Amino acid sequence: MSDCVFCKIIKGEIPSTGIYEDEVVKVFLNINPASRGHLLVIPKEHFKNVLDCPDEILSHIIKISKKIAKLAKEKLGADAINIANNSGKEAGQEVFHLHFHVVPRYKGDGMRLDFISKKDLKDDLEEIKKIIIS
């Protein structure tokens, strides 16, 4: 897409600090990192998010994300890794070209994935299950 910042990165029209690429994906450092070595794994073809991306490409992206996560642990000394994806504006997606965040985590870095922590929701789990599988 002509006005997509990540498509422009793929085409080399805007610079990026790439660390890996193959026929399907490119991996580069986030310009506004959450931690030291925060990387983005993106498909070369434009998809908005996980929902419109073919399964084979998604599988490749997650495989490469794992490879990159291992590299971050080995080379940067990360203690742990978050692999995250925001699909849709309300989920926090700001760049509408599919990307997975590979975020190295360091002991004591204090970052919290607050949205994943338990909330005071009193949802009926059986009711939700029925809705999802019906």
Closest CB to ligand AMP among residues 82, 93: 93
CA distances from 51 to 54, 57, 98 (A): 8, 12, 9
CA distance 1 to 92: 21
CA distance 7 to 68: 21
Catalytic residue among 38, 60, 99, 101: 99
Told to check if 1 binds ligand AMP by CB under 6 A, we report: no
Told to check if 82 binds ligand AMP by CB under 6 A, we report: no
Catalytic-residue membership of 99: yes
DSSP state of 7: H
Give the binding range for ligand AMP (CB under 6 A) out of 72-80, 85-93, 116-124, 126-134. 85-93
Binding site for ligand AMP (CB under 6 A): 5, 14, 16, 30-32, 40, 86, 92-95
